[in-house]
Amino acid sequence: MTTIAIMGALDEEIALYLSKLEEKYEEKLAGFVFHSGNLNGAHVVVVKSGVGKVNSSVCAQALIDCFSVSHMIFTGVAGAINPDLNVKDIVVSTQSIQHDMDARALGYSRGRIPFSELKAFDADAKLCELALQSAKKQNIHAIKGVILSGDQFITDAKIGRELRAELDGDCVDMESAAVAHACALNKVSHVIIRAISDKADHSAQESFEKICHDAANNSFAIVYEMIPHIIIHDDAPAIIKSKIRTIPNWPKKGVMYRDITTLLKDKEGLGITIDFLVKRHKGKKIDVVAGIESRGFIIGAALANKLGVGFVPIRKKGKLPGKIISASYSLEYGTDTIEIHEDAIHKGARVLIFDDLIATGGTATAACELVTRLGGIIAECCFIIDLPDLGGSKKLKEAGHKVFAITSFEGD
Protein backbone atom coordinates (compact mmCIF):
# COMPACT_ATOMS: atom_id res chain seq x y z
CA MET A 1 0.00 0.00 0.00
CA THR A 2 1.25 3.49 -0.84
CA THR A 3 1.51 5.59 2.32
CA ILE A 4 2.70 9.18 2.00
CA ALA A 5 4.23 10.95 4.99
CA ILE A 6 3.73 14.72 5.23
CA MET A 7 5.91 16.45 7.81
CA GLY A 8 6.11 20.03 8.99
CA ALA A 9 8.11 21.51 11.83
CA LEU A 10 5.41 23.89 13.09
CA ASP A 11 1.68 23.71 13.82
CA GLU A 12 1.04 26.29 11.09
CA GLU A 13 2.80 24.09 8.54
CA ILE A 14 0.45 21.11 9.01
CA ALA A 15 -2.81 22.82 10.02
CA LEU A 16 -4.30 22.84 6.52
CA TYR A 17 -3.51 19.16 6.00
CA LEU A 18 -5.25 18.23 9.24
CA SER A 19 -8.31 20.29 8.30
CA LYS A 20 -8.69 18.33 5.04
CA LEU A 21 -7.80 14.88 6.40
CA GLU A 22 -10.65 12.36 6.14
CA GLU A 23 -11.20 9.18 8.18
CA LYS A 24 -8.40 10.29 10.44
CA TYR A 25 -7.10 8.73 13.59
CA GLU A 26 -4.20 9.59 15.89
CA GLU A 27 -1.31 7.67 17.39
CA LYS A 28 1.29 9.00 19.82
CA LEU A 29 4.83 7.71 19.57
CA ALA A 30 8.13 9.08 20.87
CA GLY A 31 6.46 12.36 21.76
CA PHE A 32 4.97 12.91 18.29
CA VAL A 33 1.30 12.82 17.30
CA PHE A 34 0.81 11.01 13.99
CA HIS A 35 -2.44 11.75 12.14
CA SER A 36 -3.34 9.01 9.63
CA GLY A 37 -6.15 9.29 7.09
CA ASN A 38 -7.08 10.03 3.50
CA LEU A 39 -6.12 13.22 1.71
CA ASN A 40 -7.27 13.85 -1.85
CA GLY A 41 -7.52 10.14 -2.59
CA ALA A 42 -4.22 9.11 -1.00
CA HIS A 43 -3.42 7.44 2.30
CA VAL A 44 -1.23 9.82 4.31
CA VAL A 45 0.31 10.29 7.74
CA VAL A 46 0.66 13.91 8.83
CA VAL A 47 2.92 14.90 11.71
CA LYS A 48 4.57 17.91 13.32
CA SER A 49 8.23 17.09 13.83
CA GLY A 50 9.19 20.13 15.88
CA VAL A 51 12.18 22.32 15.13
CA GLY A 52 15.71 21.08 14.57
CA LYS A 53 17.58 18.22 12.98
CA VAL A 54 17.28 15.74 15.85
CA ASN A 55 13.51 16.16 16.17
CA SER A 56 12.96 15.86 12.43
CA SER A 57 15.23 12.86 11.91
CA VAL A 58 13.73 10.94 14.85
CA CYS A 59 10.26 11.74 13.56
CA ALA A 60 11.19 10.59 10.04
CA GLN A 61 12.58 7.31 11.37
CA ALA A 62 9.40 6.71 13.37
CA LEU A 63 7.34 7.24 10.21
CA ILE A 64 9.50 4.74 8.34
CA ASP A 65 9.59 2.12 11.09
CA CYS A 66 6.04 2.32 12.41
CA PHE A 67 3.98 3.41 9.40
CA SER A 68 5.94 1.85 6.52
CA VAL A 69 5.76 5.06 4.52
CA SER A 70 6.73 4.78 0.87
CA HIS A 71 7.19 8.50 0.22
CA MET A 72 8.20 11.41 2.45
CA ILE A 73 7.27 15.05 1.87
CA PHE A 74 8.75 17.64 4.21
CA THR A 75 7.01 20.97 3.92
CA GLY A 76 7.21 24.35 5.59
CA VAL A 77 9.09 27.63 5.44
CA ALA A 78 12.74 28.56 4.88
CA GLY A 79 14.96 31.60 4.53
CA ALA A 80 16.20 32.52 1.07
CA ILE A 81 19.92 32.85 0.32
CA ASN A 82 19.37 32.88 -3.42
CA PRO A 83 18.92 36.62 -4.18
CA ASP A 84 16.45 35.86 -6.96
CA LEU A 85 13.94 34.34 -4.52
CA ASN A 86 11.17 36.40 -2.97
CA VAL A 87 8.94 35.84 0.03
CA LYS A 88 6.29 33.13 -0.64
CA ASP A 89 8.25 31.62 -3.56
CA ILE A 90 8.74 27.86 -3.40
CA VAL A 91 11.96 25.86 -3.45
CA VAL A 92 11.57 22.18 -4.41
CA SER A 93 14.64 20.23 -3.38
CA THR A 94 17.00 18.54 -5.77
CA GLN A 95 19.46 18.06 -2.90
CA SER A 96 19.75 18.81 0.80
CA ILE A 97 23.00 19.39 2.70
CA GLN A 98 23.71 19.84 6.42
CA HIS A 99 25.68 23.08 6.40
CA ASP A 100 26.57 22.77 10.09
CA MET A 101 28.25 19.41 9.52
CA ASP A 102 31.75 20.92 9.53
CA ALA A 103 34.77 18.62 9.73
CA ARG A 104 37.05 20.75 7.58
CA ALA A 105 39.73 20.43 10.27
CA LEU A 106 39.87 16.73 9.36
CA GLY A 107 40.14 17.45 5.67
CA TYR A 108 36.47 17.01 4.77
CA SER A 109 34.49 19.59 2.84
CA ARG A 110 31.71 21.40 4.67
CA GLY A 111 28.58 19.22 4.79
CA ARG A 112 30.43 15.94 4.30
CA ILE A 113 29.71 13.32 6.96
CA PRO A 114 33.16 12.28 8.27
CA PHE A 115 34.36 8.79 7.36
CA SER A 116 31.62 8.40 4.75
CA GLU A 117 30.70 9.46 1.24
CA LEU A 118 27.53 11.17 2.46
CA LYS A 119 27.07 14.87 1.87
CA ALA A 120 24.33 15.92 -0.56
CA PHE A 121 21.10 13.91 -0.24
CA ASP A 122 19.25 13.66 -3.54
CA ALA A 123 15.51 14.14 -3.64
CA ASP A 124 13.40 11.79 -5.75
CA ALA A 125 13.41 13.22 -9.28
CA LYS A 126 9.81 12.14 -9.99
CA LEU A 127 8.50 13.73 -6.79
CA CYS A 128 10.43 16.89 -7.59
CA GLU A 129 8.88 17.06 -11.05
CA LEU A 130 5.39 16.40 -9.67
CA ALA A 131 5.82 19.28 -7.22
CA LEU A 132 6.97 21.67 -9.95
CA GLN A 133 4.07 20.68 -12.20
CA SER A 134 1.65 21.20 -9.34
CA ALA A 135 3.11 24.64 -8.57
CA LYS A 136 2.71 25.61 -12.22
CA LYS A 137 -0.96 24.59 -12.18
CA GLN A 138 -1.47 26.72 -9.06
CA ASN A 139 0.35 29.71 -10.62
CA ILE A 140 2.88 29.61 -7.78
CA HIS A 141 6.47 30.54 -8.57
CA ALA A 142 8.69 27.55 -7.77
CA ILE A 143 12.25 26.56 -8.58
CA LYS A 144 14.37 23.45 -8.20
CA GLY A 145 17.09 24.10 -5.68
CA VAL A 146 19.51 23.04 -2.98
CA ILE A 147 18.32 23.31 0.62
CA LEU A 148 20.85 23.80 3.40
CA SER A 149 19.99 22.76 6.95
CA GLY A 150 21.57 23.38 10.32
CA ASP A 151 20.65 23.88 13.95
CA GLN A 152 21.02 27.61 13.54
CA PHE A 153 18.49 30.28 12.65
CA ILE A 154 20.35 32.24 9.98
CA THR A 155 19.73 36.00 10.16
CA ASP A 156 23.12 37.33 9.07
CA ALA A 157 23.14 38.12 5.34
CA LYS A 158 26.93 37.68 5.26
CA ILE A 159 26.62 34.09 6.52
CA GLY A 160 23.92 33.44 3.96
CA ARG A 161 26.17 34.66 1.14
CA GLU A 162 29.02 32.49 2.37
CA LEU A 163 26.81 29.39 2.51
CA ARG A 164 25.52 30.06 -0.98
CA ALA A 165 29.03 30.54 -2.33
CA GLU A 166 30.40 27.40 -0.68
CA LEU A 167 27.47 25.00 -1.02
CA ASP A 168 25.44 26.56 -3.86
CA GLY A 169 22.35 26.65 -1.66
CA ASP A 170 19.08 28.40 -2.42
CA CYS A 171 17.50 28.47 1.02
CA VAL A 172 18.23 27.55 4.62
CA ASP A 173 16.18 25.82 7.30
CA MET A 174 16.73 23.71 10.42
CA GLU A 175 15.37 20.30 9.43
CA SER A 176 15.26 19.28 5.74
CA ALA A 177 18.68 17.67 5.27
CA ALA A 178 18.21 15.59 8.43
CA VAL A 179 14.95 14.22 7.03
CA ALA A 180 16.65 13.59 3.70
CA HIS A 181 19.51 11.82 5.52
CA ALA A 182 17.06 9.44 7.26
CA CYS A 183 15.27 8.77 3.97
CA ALA A 184 18.55 8.06 2.18
CA LEU A 185 19.66 5.53 4.80
CA ASN A 186 16.27 3.78 4.61
CA LYS A 187 15.92 4.07 0.82
CA VAL A 188 12.63 5.99 1.06
CA SER A 189 11.74 8.44 -1.70
CA HIS A 190 11.49 12.02 -0.50
CA VAL A 191 11.16 15.62 -1.59
CA ILE A 192 11.38 18.88 0.36
CA ILE A 193 8.96 21.70 -0.47
CA ARG A 194 9.90 24.94 1.23
CA ALA A 195 8.10 28.28 0.97
CA ILE A 196 10.28 31.35 1.44
CA SER A 197 9.41 33.25 4.63
CA ASP A 198 12.31 35.73 4.63
CA LYS A 199 15.66 36.53 3.07
CA ALA A 200 17.56 34.97 5.98
CA ASP A 201 18.36 38.52 7.12
CA HIS A 202 15.19 39.69 8.94
CA SER A 203 14.31 41.97 6.02
CA ALA A 204 10.68 40.82 5.65
CA GLN A 205 8.14 43.64 5.96
CA GLU A 206 5.29 41.46 7.22
CA SER A 207 5.15 39.56 10.50
CA PHE A 208 6.59 36.05 10.52
CA GLU A 209 3.19 34.69 11.58
CA LYS A 210 1.45 36.26 8.56
CA ILE A 211 4.17 35.15 6.14
CA CYS A 212 4.21 31.65 7.61
CA HIS A 213 0.45 31.38 7.15
CA ASP A 214 0.55 32.54 3.50
CA ALA A 215 3.61 30.44 2.71
CA ALA A 216 1.96 27.38 4.27
CA ASN A 217 -1.06 27.94 2.01
CA ASN A 218 1.22 27.82 -1.05
CA SER A 219 2.96 24.67 0.13
CA PHE A 220 -0.35 23.00 0.90
CA ALA A 221 -1.80 23.85 -2.53
CA ILE A 222 1.17 22.19 -4.21
CA VAL A 223 1.21 19.05 -2.05
CA TYR A 224 -2.57 18.59 -2.13
CA GLU A 225 -2.60 18.61 -5.93
CA MET A 226 0.42 16.37 -6.38
CA ILE A 227 -0.28 13.56 -3.91
CA PRO A 228 -2.86 11.63 -5.99
CA HIS A 229 -0.22 11.29 -8.68
CA ILE A 230 2.42 9.88 -6.33
CA ILE A 231 0.78 6.46 -6.42
CA ILE A 232 1.23 6.46 -10.18
CA HIS A 233 4.69 4.98 -10.12
CA ASP A 234 6.52 2.18 -11.89
CA ASP A 235 4.94 -0.47 -9.64
CA ALA A 236 1.34 0.46 -10.56
CA PRO A 237 0.90 -2.21 -13.29
CA ALA A 238 2.22 -4.89 -10.93
CA ILE A 239 -0.08 -3.72 -8.13
CA ILE A 240 -3.07 -3.72 -10.50
CA LYS A 241 -2.23 -7.19 -11.83
CA SER A 242 -1.88 -8.58 -8.30
CA LYS A 243 -5.47 -7.57 -7.54
CA ILE A 244 -7.01 -9.38 -10.54
CA ARG A 245 -8.36 -12.83 -9.72
CA THR A 246 -7.98 -15.81 -12.06
CA ILE A 247 -10.83 -18.34 -12.12
CA PRO A 248 -9.94 -21.60 -13.90
CA ASN A 249 -12.35 -23.35 -16.26
CA TRP A 250 -14.88 -20.55 -16.53
CA PRO A 251 -17.07 -19.99 -18.49
CA LYS A 252 -15.94 -23.30 -19.96
CA LYS A 253 -13.25 -25.89 -19.35
CA GLY A 254 -9.76 -24.81 -20.33
CA VAL A 255 -10.40 -21.08 -19.99
CA MET A 256 -8.53 -19.06 -17.35
CA TYR A 257 -10.99 -16.25 -16.62
CA ARG A 258 -9.36 -12.96 -15.55
CA ASP A 259 -11.82 -11.44 -13.10
CA ILE A 260 -11.51 -7.68 -12.44
CA THR A 261 -14.24 -7.61 -9.77
CA THR A 262 -11.53 -8.17 -7.16
CA LEU A 263 -9.70 -5.13 -8.53
CA LEU A 264 -12.86 -3.03 -8.55
CA LYS A 265 -13.79 -3.82 -4.94
CA ASP A 266 -10.28 -3.00 -3.72
CA LYS A 267 -10.12 0.65 -2.68
CA GLU A 268 -6.42 1.04 -3.40
CA GLY A 269 -6.53 -1.00 -6.60
CA LEU A 270 -9.47 0.92 -8.06
CA GLY A 271 -7.84 4.25 -7.23
CA ILE A 272 -4.48 3.27 -8.67
CA THR A 273 -6.12 2.01 -11.87
CA ILE A 274 -8.07 5.20 -12.47
CA ASP A 275 -5.19 7.48 -11.53
CA PHE A 276 -2.78 5.50 -13.72
CA LEU A 277 -5.07 5.89 -16.74
CA VAL A 278 -5.77 9.56 -16.01
CA LYS A 279 -2.07 10.33 -15.89
CA ARG A 280 -1.51 8.48 -19.17
CA HIS A 281 -4.21 10.35 -21.05
CA LYS A 282 -4.21 13.77 -19.40
CA GLY A 283 -3.34 16.46 -21.92
CA LYS A 284 -3.68 14.14 -24.95
CA LYS A 285 -6.69 15.96 -26.40
CA ILE A 286 -9.28 13.29 -25.70
CA ASP A 287 -12.79 14.55 -26.52
CA VAL A 288 -14.79 11.53 -25.39
CA VAL A 289 -14.32 8.09 -23.83
CA ALA A 290 -16.25 5.26 -25.48
CA GLY A 291 -16.72 2.29 -23.14
CA ILE A 292 -17.58 -1.19 -24.41
CA GLU A 293 -20.34 -3.13 -22.63
CA SER A 294 -20.26 -3.92 -19.91
CA ARG A 295 -17.14 -3.76 -17.77
CA GLY A 296 -15.79 -1.01 -20.00
CA PHE A 297 -18.48 1.21 -18.52
CA ILE A 298 -17.17 1.02 -14.97
CA ILE A 299 -13.65 2.38 -15.32
CA GLY A 300 -14.41 4.15 -18.60
CA ALA A 301 -17.02 6.46 -17.07
CA ALA A 302 -14.79 7.28 -14.10
CA LEU A 303 -11.87 7.95 -16.45
CA ALA A 304 -14.00 10.28 -18.59
CA ASN A 305 -15.07 12.20 -15.50
CA LYS A 306 -11.47 12.61 -14.34
CA LEU A 307 -10.38 13.75 -17.80
CA GLY A 308 -13.20 16.28 -17.93
CA VAL A 309 -14.82 14.77 -21.04
CA GLY A 310 -18.03 12.94 -21.90
CA PHE A 311 -18.69 9.20 -21.88
CA VAL A 312 -20.36 7.19 -24.66
CA PRO A 313 -21.59 3.59 -24.18
CA ILE A 314 -21.08 1.01 -26.92
CA ARG A 315 -23.74 -1.58 -26.17
CA LYS A 316 -24.89 -5.04 -27.16
CA LYS A 317 -27.67 -5.22 -29.72
CA GLY A 318 -31.09 -3.96 -28.63
CA LYS A 319 -29.97 -1.97 -25.57
CA LEU A 320 -29.94 1.61 -26.98
CA PRO A 321 -33.24 3.49 -27.44
CA GLY A 322 -32.31 6.08 -30.08
CA LYS A 323 -31.18 5.89 -33.69
CA ILE A 324 -28.19 3.60 -33.86
CA ILE A 325 -25.57 2.16 -36.15
CA SER A 326 -24.33 -1.37 -35.60
CA ALA A 327 -21.35 -3.60 -36.36
CA SER A 328 -21.19 -7.38 -36.19
CA TYR A 329 -18.17 -9.54 -35.41
CA SER A 330 -17.33 -13.21 -35.35
CA LEU A 331 -17.39 -15.41 -32.29
CA GLU A 332 -16.10 -18.96 -31.97
CA TYR A 333 -19.62 -20.18 -32.75
CA GLY A 334 -21.63 -17.53 -34.63
CA THR A 335 -21.64 -13.72 -34.50
CA ASP A 336 -22.52 -10.91 -32.15
CA THR A 337 -23.42 -7.26 -32.67
CA ILE A 338 -22.65 -4.00 -30.87
CA GLU A 339 -24.33 -0.64 -31.40
CA ILE A 340 -23.80 3.07 -30.78
CA HIS A 341 -26.13 6.06 -31.06
CA GLU A 342 -25.83 7.96 -34.32
CA ASP A 343 -25.38 11.25 -32.46
CA ALA A 344 -22.90 9.90 -29.88
CA ILE A 345 -19.73 11.18 -31.55
CA HIS A 346 -19.29 14.27 -33.69
CA LYS A 347 -17.07 14.28 -36.75
CA GLY A 348 -13.42 14.87 -35.88
CA ALA A 349 -13.80 14.01 -32.19
CA ARG A 350 -10.80 12.25 -30.67
CA VAL A 351 -12.12 9.10 -29.04
CA LEU A 352 -10.51 6.89 -26.40
CA ILE A 353 -12.02 3.40 -26.69
CA PHE A 354 -11.95 1.55 -23.37
CA ASP A 355 -12.68 -2.00 -22.24
CA ASP A 356 -11.48 -4.17 -19.39
CA LEU A 357 -9.84 -6.81 -21.59
CA ILE A 358 -8.60 -7.44 -25.14
CA ALA A 359 -8.64 -11.11 -26.21
CA THR A 360 -9.31 -12.03 -29.86
CA GLY A 361 -10.15 -8.41 -30.62
CA GLY A 362 -13.51 -8.95 -32.27
CA THR A 363 -15.48 -6.57 -30.06
CA ALA A 364 -12.77 -3.91 -30.05
CA THR A 365 -12.41 -4.05 -33.84
CA ALA A 366 -16.16 -3.61 -34.24
CA ALA A 367 -16.06 -0.68 -31.79
CA CYS A 368 -13.33 0.96 -33.87
CA GLU A 369 -15.52 0.49 -36.95
CA LEU A 370 -18.47 2.23 -35.28
CA VAL A 371 -16.41 5.19 -34.13
CA THR A 372 -14.79 5.59 -37.54
CA ARG A 373 -18.14 5.44 -39.35
CA LEU A 374 -19.38 8.32 -37.22
CA GLY A 375 -16.32 10.38 -38.21
CA GLY A 376 -14.48 10.01 -34.93
CA ILE A 377 -10.70 9.76 -34.69
CA ILE A 378 -9.50 6.88 -32.53
CA ALA A 379 -6.87 8.30 -30.18
CA GLU A 380 -6.20 4.93 -28.56
CA CYS A 381 -7.73 1.56 -27.74
CA CYS A 382 -7.12 1.13 -24.02
CA PHE A 383 -7.55 -1.93 -21.80
CA ILE A 384 -6.75 -3.08 -18.30
CA ILE A 385 -5.76 -6.58 -19.47
CA ASP A 386 -4.25 -7.89 -22.70
CA LEU A 387 -4.25 -11.60 -23.57
CA PRO A 388 -1.55 -11.36 -26.26
CA ASP A 389 -1.62 -15.09 -27.09
CA LEU A 390 -5.12 -14.59 -28.52
CA GLY A 391 -3.90 -11.95 -30.97
CA GLY A 392 -6.43 -9.17 -30.43
CA SER A 393 -3.98 -6.38 -29.66
CA LYS A 394 -1.82 -7.40 -32.63
CA LYS A 395 -4.90 -7.32 -34.86
CA LEU A 396 -5.76 -3.78 -33.77
CA LYS A 397 -2.19 -2.59 -34.27
CA GLU A 398 -2.07 -4.10 -37.75
CA ALA A 399 -5.25 -2.13 -38.53
CA GLY A 400 -3.38 1.04 -37.64
CA HIS A 401 -4.76 1.65 -34.16
CA LYS A 402 -2.74 2.64 -31.12
CA VAL A 403 -3.19 0.03 -28.38
CA PHE A 404 -2.36 0.16 -24.68
CA ALA A 405 -2.98 -2.31 -21.85
CA ILE A 406 -1.94 -1.85 -18.24
CA THR A 407 -1.02 -5.49 -17.77
CA SER A 408 -1.10 -8.83 -19.59
CA PHE A 409 -1.59 -12.53 -18.90
CA GLU A 410 -0.31 -15.49 -20.87
CA GLY A 411 -2.73 -18.04 -22.32
CA ASP A 412 -6.48 -17.93 -22.83
- Catalytic residues, which ones? 13, 198
> Cβ(51)–Cβ(174) under 8 Å?
yes
Pairing of strands 310-316, 256-259: unpaired
Nearest CA among 354, 392, 353, 356 for reference residue 372: 353
Nearest CA among 363, 360, 358 for reference residue 403: 358
150-180 exposure pattern, b = at least 16 Cβ within 10 A, e = fewer: beeebeeeebbeebbeebebbbbbbbbbbbb
**CA dihedral (330, 335, 340, 346) positive or negative:** positive
Task: Tell me whether residue 52 is exposed, middle or buried, using C-beta atoms within 10 angstroms of its C-beta: 0 to 12, 13 to 18, 19 or more.
Answer: middle
Strand partners, 147: 96, 171
